[in-house]
Chain A
Amino acid sequence: MWRRSASFVLDKRQLAQASPPHQQILLSSDDMEPNNLPNPNPSTDHGISAYYQTRAEHHAVVTSDWLAQAQAAVTRNAAVPEVLPKIAATGGSRAAGSGKAFSVIDEFNYWRKKPDLAEAVAAIMALAAFIRSSEATTMMELEIELKKASDTLKSWDTTSISLSAGCDLFMRYVTRTSALEYEDFNAAKLRLIERGEKFGEISLKARRTIAMLGQDFVFDGSTILVHGYSRVVLEVLKLAASNRKMFRVLCTEGRPDRTGLRFSNELAQLGVPVKLLIDSAVAYTMDEVDMVFVGADGVVESGGIINMMGTYQIALVAHCMNKPVYVAAESYKFARLYPLDQKDLAPAIRPIEFGVPIPSGVEVERNARDYTPPQYLTLLFTDLGVLTPSVVSDELIQLYL
């Protein structure tokens, strides 16, 4: 337990400033992130355990050929993290291909490029812009057109949960809003646009609210495991750090897009002690972890979450070791979905680079996310408050009543 104490963290921090060898390596790898980032094995073999070397020889896993190929892959993919927009990996690859379907999608893409805007908010902005440009003359007509637009938007990326949740949410507003009571059509229309634009602020505000709620759970001397790159989680940790809480963060690597590296970079810039893990080291380090923080792509009706691949196994391990798993998610990610198991969702396929050619006749699981059932989650931090998983369904039923 000694390494959980605040004094230890404090000491560590001071040591880090005095450049202890271990910490130095970590920081330096962060600094030269763009070049060094996708290369898991430094070409020099210092530090590789004898056990691993033996294993590599026996199984012929790591060879100099492989290393050369890996090096080539690095140079080829060096720009990838920058090309990928911050938002969803799924959206980025197809952004150019299908943009010409309708102006709403262009609009959506325009909003989506904005760094701080979540996908759901971008969708709502796009729909609001659509209303503005619409030439409908009656409320009914507008509603029908809007429905069409939101359907095209949804079908443009069927795998994105927050996109469809955002569209649904906006449609709920249009169909049940008091705007329908306005006698003047233009007034009603204005009101709808206004609402849509409010969403951008709400999105930012939601993140702040969650940060306020979440940072209370970070106590001095705690060790936090994070998975993936989540802006909400980052916000929580940022606020906690600015409140002078002493904590340590363990970041998973987040293969294959290495989102964990980026996350650790952000945290290191805040001065928070960070340690990187490969994804398979989660169980190994779980005993020193106090809590697990994850974001969510979508929160489903059962109270479970859909998130980046690997969340489920982290939650399972944490559950086994009785560590709390906290989810930070804005309420516009609540989706009226109810997956029964992992395969009960449309898979979000993504390219996976293994760095080596995949042997012929071997399949690759390319799904980008998994479903974590509610029994493995402890609490959800949302802008509606800190909720237990079972409240999610309550909120959803009320919303779609």
Chain B
Amino acid sequence: MDSRRLPRAVIDPKVRQVGFFTSCDPPPARSLSVPADTGASAIVPTDMSSSPPLTDIYITNNSFSSVRIPPPRQVSAEGLHSLGRAAGSTTSVFAHDVLSPHCWEGIQMPIGSYNSSEFMQGKSSMLSPSSSRFDDIDFSEEEATSACLIRTGSGKEAAAFPRSSGEVMMAIKSGANAPAKSALKTASVVKALPEVTGIQAAVPFHFSFEEKDGGTSIEKQNEGIGAARSKQKTTKAERRAIQEVQRAAKAAAKDAGKGAKSTFASSGGALAVAKQAKSAILPSQTKYGSSVASERRVDRNPDKDGKKDVSQSSMQFDDKSRVEKAKRRAAVGHFEARNSVELFRHLPQYEHGPQLQYLESKFFHLDHIHPSVYKVGLQYLTGSTSGGNARCKEMLLAFQEAVMDYSTPPEKTPARDLTSKISSYVSFLIACRPLSISMGNAIRFLKNRIAKLDHNISESEAKSNLLSDIDRFINEKIIVADKVIVHHAVTKIRDGDVLLIYGHSTVVEMILLQAHELGKQFRIVVVDSRPKLEGKALLRKLVMKGLSCTYTHLNAISYIMHEVTRVFLGASSILSNGTIYSRVGTACVAMVSHTFRVPVLICCEAYKFNERVLLDSICSNELGDPDVISKVHGRDGLNDLENCYDATPSDYVSMIVTEHGMIPPTSVPVIFREYGRDQLFF
């Protein structure tokens, strides 16, 4: 009894660490520093050797961008009163950003090839408000348009954009408590003084460099000014000039400061100095740099691919500029929805009619989409393939064909190229119909498989591995899982039961047929609802098999519930708080059954589980064709809403039947913990 508790190893919580962190001791002031580095901060990345010294400056303008830069950790003597100024500068930056969107684009400094990774899994999204996601999406465009972007040879992270073009010099103190307040300080040392150098457009705001050697802090003033930051178009030449100035000042600072030197300098020379410095900051700072660099290297591949599919679901469609951006890079065009309900404007609007015509006309132009994927996409669009399992299966089979026909272009690795191919297919499928959560899981599985392909094996071998992986997924997670669920659920049907079903769930249908085959005597109430009337097809199948059925509509649910003894429901997804995300109307059925104390059984395969938490059905939903709701013409201000899914709170659910057994809704997170790690997705 005791021994079984032993093997429970301490699992690292799946917390994504954002920002700089060391494995040993996190700096005390991290949380404090995050907002402050909104101002302008710079570090010297660690792999200096490979990159030209001048360009190794980061300037992050929004602290939440995907460029995670450690806030400089210094302390100045004037720590406290600078705080006020820091706030000032921060707000000014924001104001500026609002004012000039173009600038914003320029400033969204993508690092190297890309590192959206952390955000794409949607796990850290609270740390990354949409802006970061946004600039991930737009990266390629930005790269092209921002002429001022300077990239280093390594191309990894040392892109420098001296937007502020100021001299970035840091106050540094050799005190032991250095890391604590540094971030605040960083922002605070920004001085806005009138520009002397005559660079008109540039906004050189300057950091003072304080050297503290023996307790006195000398403030070295700078020649800069932070004039109008809003007009910030600097040319390359200007920026060069500024950097020259910077470098000169740095040299001066170096001479002056005998003791501690800034790691925070903007040139490679400064780093060299910094390395010798005795300051307590240095070790940790360099460590930060390196840990992030390595982390980034590791992270990039597997996570990058999460990009597109998530971007769709997490995008707020009521944000015009973002929708524009997304549209530009989408494989197929989107169409404006004619009417939309205010509360649901953030969701992708339904656009079936024009979309279908558009896709048909574009058939020969979209040659990068594999025909089988194209076929499946059109099936989604027309609705001939529907239902979570069917859609997922079709998609995987289409991907299988696409993989079969795939050949790696020269000078590309299959792991990367195929991933981007799949991503483009996925974005095509999204254009046809938003992905279901189960499909998202399947895609994640596939991309993980691709990313983990061994580089040494031949292409044909890799392909056959992938094909068998997809087969295995379909077989294990869908077909066999369904059988196990049926096996479990049948035990809950007794003679004389009256079962109520709603919607058209394949697994529920299998359960009923199996119970009938076993000779159980029971009766079925099929509840249906407009506009899809999916129950009719199910009713037909059941009656054909000789089951005794009653057909009614959702309106009669409270009338019919008296005679019901069990409610069987399917689910599109089950979320980690036990919420059931399913066909719209399910919540109503579950609530009425709960009120009548009729047990509600949810039958769902474990691959449809999602770690997200949903509290209502507004935040995340899919919109269907609003025209099927009603056909009232010539109306103003009347907008129809057809949402496809709703969220059933876990209170109304008695039991969830999965292939891992019958569990209460409170145990959904346990399934993630015990099975999700090794089996479900990877």
**A interface vs B, CB < 8 Å?**
169, 172, 199, 202, 206, 301-303, 331-332, 336, 338, 340-341, 343-344, 374, 383-384, 390, 393-394, 397-401
| Alpha-carbon gap, A17 to B660, bound state (A) | 59
Quick check: A397 and B1 within 8 Å, CB to CB? no
Quick check: B674 and A301 within 8 Å, CB to CB? no
Quick check: B2 and A340 within 8 Å, CB to CB? no
Q: Which of B8, B601, B667 contacts A393 (CB under 8 A)?
A: B667
List 17 A–B pairs whose Cβ atoms lie within 8 Å, in order of A's numbering.
Answer: A172-B4, A199-B1, A202-B2, A206-B1, A303-B664, A331-B1, A336-B661, A338-B655, A340-B601, A374-B664, A384-B5, A394-B667, A397-B660, A397-B667, A398-B4, A398-B8, A399-B4
Quick check: B663 and A301 within 8 Å, CB to CB? yes
Q: Which of A340, A400, A401 contacts B654 (CB under 8 A)?
A: A340
Identify the closest chain A residue to B4 (Cβ): A399
| Alpha-carbon gap, A398 to B661, bound state (A) | 12
B670 within 8 A of A: yes
Quick check: B655 and A397 within 8 Å, CB to CB? no
Q: Note all chain B residues with C-beta closer than 8 A to A374.
A: 664
| Alpha-carbon gap, A208 to B465, bound state (A) | 55
Q: Annotate B647-682 by CB proximity to A: 1 below 8 A, 0 otherwise.
A: 000000011000011111011001100100000000
| Alpha-carbon gap, A401 to B670, bound state (A) | 11
Quick check: A393 and B670 within 8 Å, CB to CB? yes
Q: Note all chain A residues with C-beta closer than 8 A to B4.
A: 172, 398-399
B328 within 8 A of A: no
Say how far B174's CB is from chain A's closest CB, in angstroms. Answer: 50
| CB within 8 Å of A: which B49-94 residues | none
Quick check: B662 and A401 within 8 Å, CB to CB? no
| CB within 8 Å of A: which B1-32 residues | 1-2, 4-5, 8
Q: Which of A331, A384, A393 contacts B663 (CB under 8 A)?
A: A393
Q: Note all chain B residues with C-beta closer than 8 A to A343.
A: 494
| Alpha-carbon gap, A390 to B668, bound state (A) | 11
Q: Note all chain A residues with C-beta closer than 8 A to B8.
A: 398
B624 within 8 A of A: no
Quick check: B664 and A393 within 8 Å, CB to CB? yes
| Alpha-carbon gap, A374 to B654, bound state (A) | 11
- A338-B662, A397-B663 known; A302 vs B1 contact (CB < 8 Å): no
Quick check: A397 and B671 within 8 Å, CB to CB? yes
Q: How would you classify the secondary structure of chain A's contact residues: helix, strand, loop or mixed?
A: helix
| Alpha-carbon gap, A185 to B2, bound state (A) | 24
Quick check: A340 and B663 within 8 Å, CB to CB? no
**B interface vs A, CB < 8 Å?**
1-2, 4-5, 8, 492, 494, 566, 599, 601, 654-655, 660-664, 666-667, 670-671, 674
With most chain B CB atoms within 10 A of its CB, the pick from A340, A374, A384, A393 is A340
Quick check: A301 and B599 within 8 Å, CB to CB? no
Say how far A74's CB is from chain B's closest CB, in angstroms. Answer: 40
| Alpha-carbon gap, A1 to B664, bound state (A) | 38
Quick check: B566 and A394 within 8 Å, CB to CB? no
Q: Note all chain B residues with C-beta closer than 8 A to A397.
A: 660-661, 663, 667, 670-671, 674
Identify the closest chain B residue to A390 (Cβ): B666
- A394-B670, A401-B674 known; A332 vs B655 contact (CB < 8 Å): no
| Alpha-carbon gap, A331 to B1, bound state (A) | 8
Q: Note all chain B residues with C-beta closer than 8 A to A399.
A: 4
| Alpha-carbon gap, A331 to B5, bound state (A) | 12
Q: Note all chain B residues with C-beta closer than 8 A to A344.
A: 492, 494
Closest 8 CB pairs of A and B: A390-B666, A340-B599, A393-B667, A338-B662, A394-B670, A302-B664, A397-B670, A202-B1
Q: Note all chain B residues with C-beta closer than 8 A to A206.
A: 1
Identify the closest chain A residue to B566 (Cβ): A340
Quick check: B662 and A301 within 8 Å, CB to CB? yes
Quick check: B661 and A390 within 8 Å, CB to CB? no
| Alpha-carbon gap, A161 to B366, bound state (A) | 63
Identify the closest chain B residue to A169 (Cβ): B1
* Extra contacts besides A336-B661, A343-B494, A398-B674 (18): CB < 8 Å: A206-B1, A301-B661, A301-B662, A302-B654, A302-B655, A302-B664, A331-B1, A332-B1, A338-B664, A340-B566, A383-B1, A390-B664, A393-B663, A393-B667, A397-B660, A397-B670, A397-B674, A398-B4
Quick check: A341 and B599 within 8 Å, CB to CB? yes
Say how far A40's CB is from chain B's closest CB, in angstroms. Answer: 34
| Alpha-carbon gap, A373 to B661, bound state (A) | 19
Say how far A340's CB is from chain B's closest CB, in angstroms. Answer: 4
| Alpha-carbon gap, A202 to B2, bound state (A) | 9
| Alpha-carbon gap, A383 to B3, bound state (A) | 13
Identify the closest chain B residue to A332 (Cβ): B1
| Alpha-carbon gap, A341 to B661, bound state (A) | 18
Identify the closest chain B residue to A341 (Cβ): B599
| Alpha-carbon gap, A189 to B2, bound state (A) | 20
Quick check: B1 and A340 within 8 Å, CB to CB? no
| Alpha-carbon gap, A343 to B599, bound state (A) | 12
Quick check: B664 and A340 within 8 Å, CB to CB? no
Say how far A97's CB is from chain B's closest CB, in angstroms. Answer: 28
Quick check: A400 and B664 within 8 Å, CB to CB? no
- A332-B1, A383-B1, A400-B661 known; A340 vs B667 contact (CB < 8 Å): no
| Alpha-carbon gap, A331 to B2, bound state (A) | 10
- A340-B599, A341-B599, A397-B674 known; A301 vs B2 contact (CB < 8 Å): no
| Alpha-carbon gap, A390 to B667, bound state (A) | 7
| Alpha-carbon gap, A374 to B667, bound state (A) | 13
| Alpha-carbon gap, A303 to B665, bound state (A) | 11
Identify the closest chain B residue to A394 (Cβ): B670
Q: Note all chain A residues with C-beta closer than 8 A to B599.
A: 340-341
Quick check: A340 and B655 within 8 Å, CB to CB? yes
With most chain B CB atoms within 10 A of its CB, the pick from A169, A202, A302, A336 is A302
Quick check: A393 and B666 within 8 Å, CB to CB? yes
| Alpha-carbon gap, A320 to B358, bound state (A) | 62
| Alpha-carbon gap, A206 to B2, bound state (A) | 10
| Alpha-carbon gap, A390 to B663, bound state (A) | 10
| Alpha-carbon gap, A336 to B671, bound state (A) | 16
With most chain A CB atoms within 10 A of its CB, the pick from B599, B663, B671 is B663
Q: Note all chain A residues with C-beta closer than 8 A to B660.
A: 397
| Alpha-carbon gap, A199 to B3, bound state (A) | 12
Identify the closest chain B residue to A399 (Cβ): B4
Q: Note all chain A residues with C-beta closer than 8 A to B5.
A: 384
| Alpha-carbon gap, A400 to B662, bound state (A) | 12
Q: Note all chain B residues with C-beta closer than 8 A to A302.
A: 654-655, 664
| Alpha-carbon gap, A2 to B39, bound state (A) | 65
Say how far A401's CB is from chain B's closest CB, in angstroms. Answer: 6
Identify the closest chain A residue to B601 (Cβ): A340
Q: Note all chain B residues with C-beta closer than 8 A to A338.
A: 655, 662, 664
Q: Note all chain A residues with C-beta closer than 8 A to B674.
A: 397-398, 401
Q: Note all chain B residues with C-beta closer than 8 A to A398.
A: 4, 8, 670, 674
Q: Note all chain B residues with C-beta closer than 8 A to A331.
A: 1
| Alpha-carbon gap, A258 to B666, bound state (A) | 37
| Alpha-carbon gap, A344 to B496, bound state (A) | 13
| Alpha-carbon gap, A401 to B660, bound state (A) | 8
Say how far B500's CB is from chain A's closest CB, in angstroms. Answer: 14
Identify the closest chain A residue to B655 (Cβ): A338
| Alpha-carbon gap, A265 to B486, bound state (A) | 50
Q: Note all chain B residues with C-beta closer than 8 A to A169.
A: 1
Say how far A310's CB is from chain B's closest CB, in angstroms. Answer: 20
- A331-B1, A398-B4, A401-B674 known; A301 vs B664 contact (CB < 8 Å): yes
| Alpha-carbon gap, A268 to B1, bound state (A) | 34
Q: Note all chain A residues with C-beta closer than 8 A to B492.
A: 340, 344
Say how far A126's CB is from chain B's closest CB, in angstroms. Answer: 17
| Alpha-carbon gap, A172 to B7, bound state (A) | 14
| Alpha-carbon gap, A340 to B664, bound state (A) | 11
With most chain A CB atoms within 10 A of its CB, the pick from B4, B566, B599 is B4
| Alpha-carbon gap, A401 to B676, bound state (A) | 12
Say how far B287's CB is from chain A's closest CB, in angstroms. Answer: 38
With most chain B CB atoms within 10 A of its CB, the pick from A332, A397, A399 is A397
Q: Note all chain B residues with C-beta closer than 8 A to A394.
A: 667, 670
Say how far B281's CB is from chain A's closest CB, in angstroms. Answer: 45
| Alpha-carbon gap, A400 to B599, bound state (A) | 25
